[in-house]
A and B are shown apart, each in its own frame.
Chain A
Amino acid sequence: MKAHGHVFKYGDNVDTDVIIPARYLNTSDAKELAAHCMEDIDADFVSKVKEGDIMVATRNFGCGSSREHAPLAIKTAGISCVIAATFARIFYRNSINIGLPILECPEAVDGINAGDEVEVDFDTGKITNVTSGKTFQAQPFPAFMQEIIKADGLVNQLRAKLA
């Protein structure tokens, strides 16, 4: 499985309140949430993002609240993969559980600029900056998490287990 798209790049500590502000949490409709994704720090994101695009950020992406609405909004907005130097732990867990691919790779974050065209191979963890020609290697997921990802999320995995 591969992701291929252009990059939206952000800095440290992008919190879940800016990914999806609490004022919109009176719904669990993914499309409604996606319509407000990132609006408090990047008002143009929703109008500019295209299906398959990639989000890149530096440290502690997704810090703050446990709202699963945050990875859900990012995924539904069309983002195919988030690459960060580090992720906040609840966001990390939630992303795996809902099937939003995320990769930790500080070198790639340093070597990718906003607007670059990037390709990610999830099977190998190889990240290619098509614009610059540079490649990076992300840490592969532990086998335990790969199983959740293969099952397309925790719920599907559990459904198979309990069936």
Chain B
Amino acid sequence: MGMTMTQKILAAHAGLDSVTAGQLIEAKLDLVLGNDVTTPVAINEFDKIGCKTVFDRTKVAIVPDHFTPNKDIKAAEQAKKVREFARKHDIENYFEVGCMGIEHALLPEKGLVVAGDVVIGADSHTCTYGALGAFSTGIGSTDMAAGMASGTAWFKVPSAIKFVLKNKLSGWASGKDVILHIIGMIGVDGALYQSMEFTGPGLASIDIDGRFTIANMAIEAGAKNGIFPVDKVALKYLKEHGKRPNRIYEADPDAEYERVIEIDLAAIKPTVAFPHLPSNTKTIDEAKGLKIDQVVIGSCTNGRIQDLRIAAKILKGRSVSKDIRCIIFPATQKIYLQAVKEGLAEIFVKAGVAFSTPTCGPCLGGHMGILAKGERALATTNRNFVGRMGHPESEVYLSNPAIAAASAITGVITDPDDLPRK
């Protein structure tokens, strides 16, 4: 029986000719990732193991991005603990504030993840790198500690759902809308323990940033990973960024899938996820008109340059509503600089946007944009759980950057096509 793309990568890293769904394996790791929230717990566990040093100082990446620049004294203590660990073990890929970016945008940009890799990260959105044809998945701090010590991790080989994308996206619809549409269709546990493999002729029309967004939110359907074939679009990105050789795996023609779902990209409309689950989706026609208090554009989901370009296209020559706080945070320093060079930063600031240094802060209710009781945010982030962005009685709505930017101008959820002409 054939293997899925994910199964082939896992088999190769376990030193096996083949694996089947449900099999328990031990796989070699190409990269182990942690941040300033999860690494402190991992350090405690790492010290308990009694290992003198990490398995390979070039294969551990530590990115203090969640509560940095430090939000309070306790966060500063955690960041310090992580920094000291990184220095002690001479971790090559430790990124300090100023070089730091949101981990899942930063690692591909720095070329630290390439096609065919097996990556674990103590952050659930580690699944983002599937856009590059890597197997990457979120784990906890103890797994991070064990991974840093041994260079291996245990996995249960996942079965898979195949999504066959057809036709092309139209209008303001983007990768974000594809994944929100899918989560709305299959539910927040619709791919529980499984791989989501994205294939089909429609892929060619989705750029790499859109693919990162789609793979990033595989976890919001409960998936173990999301993965894309390594086509021309992925290879172009990998050629420009990758620091190691790619290992390109393809699903076997006779690979077994638990489900095959066809997605007509042409039929996907801009989509908004209502509180308090990413699966609670409505199309823009059903969502528009709802009053909001804050707009957040950024995060590991939608803080890449293409996302900022779209937001700038809409905000250029317009102003953020007096009733809205609009925060835009590029995902990395490189994206920040590019936004400055392309004139996007000027457009944002002139429009009345708070243009921020990279941080995960607002997305998880850490800092830089906390909501008060009863307030509503429209965000390009990935989760809208109870209390995600602040007070337990606040609300988060999820959308693509175009909808978010248009809504910042009007103060209500808005279709960019409904904005008055400039």
A contact residues vs B (CB 8 Å cutoff):
13, 15, 17-18, 21-23, 25-28, 40-41, 59-60, 63-69, 71-72, 86, 88-90, 93-94, 97-98, 142, 144, 153-156, 158-159, 162-163
Could you tell me if B222 and A89 are in contact, using CB atoms closer than 8 angstroms? yes
Chain B residues 328-368 with CB under 8 Å of chain A are 364-366
Could you tell me if B222 and A26 are in contact, using CB atoms closer than 8 angstroms? no
- In the assembled complex, how far is the CB of residue A58 from the closest CB belonging to chain B, in whole angstroms? 11
- In the assembled complex, how far is the CB of residue A144 from the closest CB belonging to chain B, in whole angstroms? 5
Could you tell me if B224 and A68 are in contact, using CB atoms closer than 8 angstroms? no
- Summarize B's interface: helix, strand, loop or mixed: loop
A selection of 24 A-B contacts at a CB cut-off of 8 Å is A17-B365, A17-B387, A17-B388, A22-B66, A25-B366, A26-B78, A40-B387, A41-B392, A59-B189, A63-B188, A66-B124, A67-B140, A68-B142, A72-B41, A88-B192, A89-B193, A90-B124, A94-B143, A154-B143, A155-B45, A158-B146, A158-B149, A162-B149, A163-B50
Contacts of B41 in A (CB 8 A): 28, 68-69, 72
Contacts of B324 in A (CB 8 A): none
- In the assembled complex, how far is the CB of residue B246 from the closest CB belonging to chain A, in whole angstroms? 26
Whether A25 touches B145, Cβ cut-off 8 Å, given contacts A64-B383, A162-B49, is no
B298 close to chain A: CB less than 8 A: no
Partner of A28, one of B51, B78, B145: B78
Whether A68 touches B388, Cβ cut-off 8 Å, given contacts A60-B188, A94-B142, A98-B142, is no
Residue-wise interface mask of B (99-140) relative to A, using a CB-CB cutoff of 8 A (1 in contact, 0 not)? 000000000000000000000011110100000000000111
CB-CB nearest in chain B for A153:
B142
- In the assembled complex, how far is the CB of residue B261 from the closest CB belonging to chain A, in whole angstroms? 19
B232 close to chain A: CB less than 8 A: no
Q: How far is the CA of A89 from the CA of B155 in the complex (A)?
A: 11
Contacts of B71 in A (CB 8 A): 26
Whether A159 touches B72, Cβ cut-off 8 Å, given contacts A21-B365, A63-B189, A154-B143, is no
- In the assembled complex, how far is the CB of residue A74 from the closest CB belonging to chain B, in whole angstroms? 13
Q: How far is the CA of A21 from the CA of B145 in the complex (A)?
A: 23
Q: How far is the CA of A65 from the CA of B360 in the complex (A)?
A: 13
